[in-house]
Structure 1
Amino acid sequence: MNSFAIVCLDDDPRIVEQLNQDLAEFAGLFDICNAYSIAEANDTLEFIEQGNQRVAMVICDNELGSDNGVDFLVSLEQYPASKQARSILLNDKPQLDTIMQAVNEGRLHYCLTKPWNRKELKQVVTKELTSFILKHPEEDWLRYSQLLDHRRILNAHIERQMSRYRSGFIQDTNTLDDETLANQVADGLHEFFNGNDESRACRRYSENHLLTQEGQSNDFLWFIKKGEVALYKQDEHGNRHEVVRVGAGYMVGGMSFVTGEPSFSTGVTLSTTDVIKLDRNLFNKVMNSRSELLPLFTNLLMRNFNRRLKGSIQTELRLQQTLKSLDDAYHQLIDKEKMAMLGQLVAGVAHELNNPVSAILRGSDTLKQTINKITDTPLSHENQERGNYILQQAMQSCPLSTSEARQRAKKLSTTLGDRQLARKAVLMGLDDHEHTSQWLLPQKGDLPHVIAEWDNYYQMGNFLRSINVCAHRIADLVKSLKSYARQDDESWHTVDLHEGLEDTLVIFENKLKRHHVTKEYSELPALYCQPIALQQVWTNLISNALDAIDEPGEIHISTRLAPYHHSQTGQHAIEVIVEDNGKGIPREQQQQIFELNYTTKREGNFGLGIGLSVCQQIIQQHNGSIKVESELGRFTKMIVILPLDEAK
C-alpha cells in the first residue's frame, strides 16, 4: 500500500474505467481508488484515513445524478486525510458558474472538459501531484522524481538540502561567488596546514595520477588548488568515456566521501595538479579546529553537488530529447517503408492484372465475331456436331510445342496433300487414324471449306480456354494479395511446371502472335513448389523478352533436367530457359538487373522495374538460382535453376 491515494469519482463506470487506464502509470506510487457516488466516495475517504493514508488528488465529475461534484470537493476539508488534496473537476461542457463556485470555495485546481485529451490529463496530474508531494517535506522526494516533474523535485531537493545546512550556520555564504568561496576555503586550509602538515595533506600529482576508481570505495576528499582532473565512466563494453573536467576550486570524490558509497566515476589528473587530500579523521580535525571553515566548506561542497546534479539533469534531458528524435525518425522511416511497400505492391498487382484482363477483353471481342460465324455456318448437321467436339477439345487440351506440331503436320500433309490444312487439323487434334479416315478423307473435296468452318469452333474453344485461364490467374492474384495482407505464405504443391508456363503464354497470346515463338519441353518430374509465385517469375521473364525484341522477333522457351552442381548427393534440378534475339544486355549491367527497381525500360513504361529482383527472391525461396547470359545485339538468355527433392 502506498502513502498516498488518488480518488476517481463518476457515476458512469466507463468514465471511471477510462480514468484508471489513463492513470495506470501513476499506480506504482499512488493507490487508485474508485467511487460511483458521493456516499461511496465518503466511505472511501474514511477507509483511506483509517489506513493512515492521505489523499493526494480527487478527480470528480460535476454532475453526479442529483448531487453536485463541487459540493463534494468543498467537503474534502472535513477529512484530515484529504485536506491538502489537489482537485480536478470534470464537465461534459464548460460551465462557468460551476467553475467559479469551485474557485471561490478554494477547492478547484484544474477543470477538464469531457472527453479529455489523455496527454493533457497526464500533464495536469503530473503538475498537481508534484505540487502535492512538495508540500510534504517528510517524504523522500527523489522517490517520485522519475514519475513526476523531476526538475521541480530535484531543484526542491537541492534547495532543501542547502537549507538544512544553512540553518545551522550564522554566516550566510549565498552572496559569495564560486571563485571567492573556493579561495576562502583554500586560504583557510593553507593556514591550517602551514607548518603543520605531518599527514602530507598538501600534495602535487603528476599527469595520469589516479584519484578515484569507479565502483570502488573511497575514503578521501581531494580539493583541487591548481591543475585539471577528468572524470570518466565505463560503459557495459568496458570502454571509458570522459564525462566532465574540473579545475581549481572543485572537489573530487566528494559524493562518495560524504555518503560512503562506491565512487561514481574514475578521477585522473590531466596535468601536474596540486591538491589537498583529506581523510575523514583529518577532515574532522580541520573543521573542529577552524569552525569558520565549516559553513564555507559545506557551501562549496553543496555547490559542487548542485552542479553535478544539474549536469546530470541536463544530460538526461539531452538524452531524452535524442531518444525522442530517434524514435520519431524511426517511426517516420517505418511509415515511409510501409508506403513504399504499398506502392510497390499496388504497382506489381496492377502490372500482373493488366495482362490477363487484356487477354479476356481481346478474347471476348473475338468471341463476338466467332459466335456469328458459328451460328450462320453452312456446315451439315454432322459436321456441326464434329465442330462442337472440336470446341470442347480445344477448351480442355494443352497447346502443342512448336516442334511437335511441325512434325505431325508434315506427316499428315502426305495424306491430305495440303500442308496448311494438315497444320490446322493437327492443332484441332484430328491427325489420328480414326479422325483422318472418318472425318477428313471422306470429304476431301470440301475439306478446305470444312476445315475453315471447324477452325471457328477451334478458335472459340481456344479463346474460352484462354478466358478461363486468365480468370483463374486473376483469382490467384487476388488470393495471393489476401495472403500477403495476412502475412501468410502461399501453400506449397507438387505440380507440372509446364502448366504454369503454358498458362503464362496464354496471357501474352496477343503479343506473342506477332513474333515467332518456339517451345522445347523435356519430360520433367513434378516439382514441389509455390506455383503462383513461380508463375510471376515466368510472367516477368516473358514480358522482359517481349520488351527486348523488335517485330518480328524470336522467343525460345525450353525446359530440361540437369545435374544440380551445388549438390553433393547427385541431386538433379529443373532448368527453365527463356531466350530472345533482342538487343542484349551489356556485361557491366548484367548484375545490376537483379537490383531492386533497376530498369532498362524507357521512361514512362508502366511496371515495377523489370521485376528481376522479385524473381530472384522467389527463386531463392525455392533454393534455386537465376543467371543471365547475353551478348549485345544478338541474344539474352535467362536461366532459372530449381533443384528437385527440396521439401519445404
Structure 2
Amino acid sequence: MNSFVIVCLDDDPTIIERLNQELAGFAGLFDLCNAYSIREAYEILDLVEHQGQQVAAVICDNRLGLDNGVDFLIQLESHPATRHARSVLLNDKPQLDSIMQAVNEGRLHYCLNKPWQPSELLQVLTKELTTFVLKHPGEDWLQYSQVLDHRRILNAHIERQMANFRSGFIQNTNDLDDETLARQVTDALHDFFDGNDESRACRTYSADHLLTQEGQPNRFLWFITMGEVVLYKKDEHGNKHEVVRVGPGNLVGGMSFVTGEPSFSTGVTLGKTDVIKLDRTLFNKVMNSRSELLPLFTNLLLRNFNRRLQGSIRTEMQLQQTLQSLDAAYQQLIEKEKMAMLGQLVAGVAHELNNPVSAILRGSDTLKHTICKLTKTQLSLENQTRGNMILQQAMQSRPLSTAETRSRAKALELKLGDRQLARKAVQMGIDGPEHLESWLLSQKKNLKPVMDEWDNYYQMGSFLRSMHVCAQRIADLVKSLKSYARQDDETFHQVDIHEGLEDTLVIFENRLKHHHVTKEYAKLPLITCQPIALQQVWTNLIANALDAIEAPGEIRITTRFTPGIQNEDNENQCVDIIVEDNGKGIAPAQQEKIFELNYTTKREGNFGLGIGLSVCQQIIHHHHGEIRVESEPGRFTRMIATLPLRGDASLSGEAPSLASKIPANQEAL
C-alpha cells in the first residue's frame, strides 16, 4: 500500500479503463482507485482516510448522470483525505460558469477536454502530482523522481538539503570554544591526509619561512597546527611593523585565499612550524569528501577574521576597506529589496485587475443579449422613449439601502396590486408621483409585459454603469501606479461615501450573487476624503467578508453617525462604515494581530500576503480616523471604520499619494 492515492471518477467504464492504462506508470508509487459514481467516490475517500493514506489527485468527469463533477471537486477540501489533492476535470461540454467557480474556489487545477491526446494526460498528471508531492516535505522525494518531474524534484531536494545544512551551519559549532573547534578541524584534516598526502599538504617549516607577502597574489590557505607565525604590515613610508602573532588553530592567508585579492600582510614563521597547506583544488577535494568539515572550517575561518578585526591590525587602511565592503553590501541589500517590492507589486496589480476585468467581461456578454432584445421590442414609441429615460437614469442611479427599497416597494404595491412589479418600479426609479399616473396606472392592464420590456432598458443602463465603474477602477489603479513612480500627491474631495461602497459591490457582483447582502445607509452629508484610497479599504473589507463566509452567507453594510456625536456640530462629526459577515469569526488572540504587517488568517492556497488590513489601517489613520474589529468565533465578524466628516488633512487640500503608502499587493488577510 502506497502513501498516496489517485482516484478516477467516471460513469463510463471505457474511460476508466483508458485512465488505468495511461496511469499504469504511476501505479508503483500511487494506488489507483476507480469510482463510477460520486457515492462510490466518497466511499473510497473514507477508506483512504481510514487506512492513513492521502489522495494525491482526483480525475473527475464533468457529467456523472444527474450529478455535476465540478460540484464534487469543489467539496473535496471538506474531506480530510483530499485537502491538498490536485484536481483534473474531464470536460466534453463547455460550462464556463461552473468551471470558473471551481477555479475561484481553488479546487480545480486543470481542465482536460475530451477526447484527449495519449500523452496529454500523462503530462498533466506528472506536473500536478509533482506539485502535490513537493508539498509533503516528510516524504522521500527522490523515489518519485523516476515517474514525476525529475528536474523539479531534484531541485527541491537540493534546496531542502541546503536548507537543512544552512539551519545547522552555525548551530553545530557555536557551542564549541576556539580550542575545541581548531582541534576538530585539525583531526579531520590529518585523518583525511593520513596515507593519502601525495601533494604534501602537511609540512614542517623552519624559522623565517615566508608564507604570504603583502600585496602579492596568494593561492594557498595555511592552517597552523604547531609553532607560531608573525604578520607584518608596511606603512605609507614602507616601514615594516609587526601587527599580530598567531599560533596553532589559526589560519594565515584566509582573506586573500577566499577573495582572490593580494595578500593583506606578510606572514613569516618564527620557529619550527607545522602547517597544512591547501590550494583551491585541494580545498574543494577535502570539503567535498568531508561534508561535515565545511561548517567547522567555515566557522573557524569566520572566527579568525573576527579576531583579526578585533585585534591590533585595525589600521586606518583596514577601516577604509571594511567600510567599502559594508557600503557595497548595503547597496546589494537595497537592490534586493527593490526587486522584492517589484515582485509584490506585479502580483498585487494582477490580482487587483482581475475583479474589474472579470466584471467588464460579464457585463459585455450580458449586453450582447440585452441589445438583441431591445432591437426586437414590441413597445410603443412612447414607451420606448420612457425606456430610454430608464436606461439613462440607471446609468446614474443613487444607492438605496435595503430598508428604503423595501419601504418604497411596499407603498407602491398598494397602488399597483403586484409586489413584483412594485419592486421593479422602485429599482428602475419610476415609483415617484410624476411616473405613477402617466407611466404605471394608465397602462395597468398591460403593465407586466411593458415592465418586462422596460427591465431590459434598466439592465442595459445598470450594466453600462457597472462597466464604467470597473473601467474607472482600472484607471484609478493605473493612476496609483503612476503616482508610485512619480510620488505625486492625491487631493482630497467631498464625495458621497455610499457611491464608493456601491462601486465596490459592483466589482464583487459575481461573488456576491451567491450571498444575501443587506445595506443600511444613513442619510450622510458629503465626506472630505481621498476616494481612491477609501475604495481600497472597502475592497479589502468586502473581500475579507467574502472569504470568511460559505454560500449562502450574509453580508451587512451599514453607515451611521458615530454614537454620542452631536449632529449639529459638523466640525467634529464622525461616521461609522461597518462591514459585517456571519462567517467563522476571528479568535480573540488573532484579533490583536490582524492589523500587523504580514499577518494572515487565510488558509493555505488562498491568495493573501497579510498586508491588506495593515494598509486599511494606514489609510484610515491618514484620514484621522480609526478602524477596529468586533468578532465572535463561529458567529460573526464586524469591521468598523470611523471617519471624520472633515479632517485636518482636508484643510491642506493634498496628501501623500496612495501608492506611495500602500505595499504592492492590496489583498486582505
The two structures have a TM-score, normalised by structure 1, of 0.51
Shift, 1:538, TM fit: 0.4
* Structure 1 residue 153: Cα displacement: 5.7
- Are 2:613 and 1:612 equivalent residues in the alignment? yes
**2 CA distance for matches of 1:601 and 1:313?**
54
CA contact (8 A) 1:563 1:571 kept: no
Q: Is the 8 A contact 1:359 1:467 kept in 2?
A: yes
Task: Give 1:646's aligned residue.
Answer: 647
Alpha-carbon distance in 1 for matches of 2:537, 2:370: 33
Q: C-alpha distance in 1, partners of 2:515/2:491?
A: 35
Q: CA deviation at 1:314?
A: 4.7
What's the CA shift for 1:328? Answer: 3.0
Q: CA deviation at 1:513?
A: 2.1
Partner of 1:376: 376
Give the letter for the 2:452 counterpart: A
Cα distance between partner residues in 2 of 1:603 and 1:468: 34
Return the letter of the residue paired with 1:592.
Answer: K
* Aligned counterpart, 1:635: 636
Distance 1:371 1:459 in 2: 10
CA shift digits 1:570-624 (9 cap, x unpaired): 8332211100111101111112211223222232223443610111111111121
CA contact (8 A) 2:586 2:631 kept: yes
3-state SS of 1:478 partner: helix
* Inter-partner Cα distance in structure 2 for 1:357 and 1:552: 25
For residue 391 of structure 2, what is the aligned residue in structure 1? 391
Unaligned runs of 5+ in 1: 1-126, 128-150, 160-177, 179-310
The Cα shift of 1:357 comes to 1.0
Partner-residue secondary structure (3-state), 1:371: helix
Matched letter for residue 642 of structure 1:
L
Provide the residue aligned with 2:663 in structure 1: none
C-alpha contact (below 8 Å) 1:619/1:642 kept by paired residues: yes
* Shift in Å, 1:564: 8.0
User: What's the secondary structure of 1:592's corresponding residue?
Assistant: coil
Contact 1:563–1:572 (Cα < 8 Å) also in 2: no
Give the SS at the match of 1:383.
helix
Give the 5 Å matches for 1:192-591.
314-562=314-562, 571-591=572-592
Aligned residue for 1:637, secondary structure, equals strand
User: Which residue identity lines up with residue 327 of structure 1 in the other structure?
Assistant: D
Tell me, yes or no, if structure 1 residue 154 matches structure 2 residue 236: yes
Q: Alpha-carbon deviations, 1:336-381, whole Å to 9, x = none?
A: 2222222232222222221111111110011011111111122222
8 A Cα contact 2:562 2:642, kept in partner: no
Indicate conservation of the 8 Å contact 1:623/1:643, yes or no: yes
Any idea what SS the aligned residue of 2:583 has?
coil
Whole-Å separation in 2 of the counterparts to 1:574 and 1:346: 35
Kept in 1, the 8 Å contact 2:600–2:608? The answer is no
Change over 3 Å in CA distance of 1:335–1:522 after alignment to 2: same
- Report the residue type matching 2:396 in the other structure: Q
Q: Which runs of 5+ in 2 are unaligned?
A: 1-214, 216-232, 246-310, 650-669
CA distance in 2: counterparts of 1:491 and 1:484, whole angstroms: 15
Q: Does the Cα contact within 8 Å between 1:585 and 1:630 map onto a contact in 2?
A: yes
Q: Closer, same or farther in 2 for the Cα pair 1:570/1:314, shift >3 Å? A: closer
Percentage of identical aligned residues? 71
Contact 2:400/2:521, CA 8 A, preserved across alignment = no
1:334 CA displacement: 1.5
The code of the aligned residue for 2:366 comes to T
Letter in 2 for 1:350: A
1:156 is paired with a residue whose SS is coil
Name the aligned partner's letter for residue 395 of structure 2. Answer: M
The whole-number CA distance in structure 1 between the counterparts of 2:456 and 2:470 is: 21
Tell me, what secondary structure is at the counterpart of 2:471? helix
Partner of 1:596: 597
Q: Note the alpha carbon deviations across 1:406-436, whole angstroms, 9 max, x for none.
A: 0000011111111011100111111112212
* Matched position secondary structure for 1:593: coil
> Does the CA contact (< 8 Å) of 1:391 and 1:460 recur in 2?
yes
User: AA paired with 1:436?
Assistant: L
Residues 467 and 569 (structure 1), Cα distance of their counterparts in 2 relative to 1, 3 Å cut: closer
- Between the aligned partners of 1:454 and 1:608, the Cα distance in structure 2 is 45
CA shift, 1:646, in A, is 1.7
Task: Report how many aligned residue pairs link the two structures.
Answer: 350
CA distance in 2, matches of 1:527, 1:569: 11
The CA distance in 1 between the partners of 2:363 and 2:453, in whole Å, is 19
Per-residue CA distance 1:539-578 (angstroms, 9 max, x = gap): 000111111111111111111122689xx99833221110
**Which residue pairs with 1:87 in the alignment?**
none
Structure 1 runs of 4+ with >4 Å offset: 311-314
Structure 1 match to 2:623: 622
Contact 2:602 2:608 in 1 (8 A): no
State the alpha-carbon separation in 1 of the partners of residues 399 and 373 from structure 2.
23
Q: Is the 8 A contact 2:570 2:645 kept in 1?
A: no
Instruction: Give, in whole Å, the separation in 1 of the partners of 2:504 and 2:629.
Output: 21
Name the SS for the 1:403 alignment partner: helix
Tell me if the contact between 1:563 and 1:573 (Cα under 8 Å) persists in the aligned partners: no
Q: Distance in 2 between matches of 1:485 and 1:381?
A: 53
Q: 1:425 to 1:418 in 2, by over 3 A?
A: same
Residue 562 of structure 2 aligns to a residue whose secondary structure is: strand
- How far is the alpha carbon of 1:625 from its aligned partner? 1.2
Distance 1:570 1:372 in 2: 52
Alignment partners' CA distance in 1, 2:525 and 2:444: 42
What SS does structure 2 have at the residue aligned with 1:534? Answer: helix
- Per-residue displacement from partner, 1:44-102 (whole Å, max 9, x unpaired)? xxxxxxxxxxxxxxxxxxxxxxxxxxxxxxxxxxxxxxxxxxxxxxxxxxxxxxxxxxx
Q: Structure 1 residue 644: deviation in Å?
A: 3.5
**Higher alpha-carbon Rg:** 1
TM-score by length of 2: 0.49
> 2:550 is matched by which residue type in structure 1?
D
Name the CA shift for 1:330/1:455 in 2 (closer, same or farther; >3 Å).
same
SS of structure 2 residue aligned to 1:522: coil
CA contact (8 A) 1:392 1:461 kept: yes
Return the offset for 1:508. 1.3
- The C-alpha deviation readout for 1:443-462, integer Å capped at 9, x for no partner, is 22221111111111100000
Q: SS at 2:560's partner residue? A: strand
Measured against aligned partners, the alpha-carbon deviations of 1:115-147 in whole angstroms (never above 9, x if no partner) come to xxxxxxxxxxxx9xxxxxxxxxxxxxxxxxxxx
How far off is 1:316 after superposition? 3.1
Change (3 A) 1:610 1:334: closer
Which secondary structure state, in structure 2, belongs to the residue aligned with residue 532 of structure 1?
Answer: helix
Q: Which amino acid aligns with 1:561?
A: F
1:462-492 CA-to-partner distances (Å, cap 9, x unmatched) read 0001111111111111111101111223222
Q: Please tell me whether the aligned partners of residues 564 and 573 of structure 1 are also in contact (alpha carbons under 8 angstroms).
A: no
Deviation at 1:333, TM superposition (A): 2.3
- Between 1:429-438 and 1:334-343, the stretch displaced more is 334-343
* C-alpha RMSD over aligned residues: 2.8
Query: What CA distance in whole angstroms lies between the structure 2 residues aligned with 1:315 and 1:420?
Result: 90
* 8 Å CA contact 1:564, 1:572 repeated in 2: no
1:322 counterpart letter in structure 2: T
Where relative contact order (Cα < 8 A, 6+ residues apart) is larger, the structure is: 2
* Matched-pair contact (CA < 8 Å) for 2:399–2:499: no
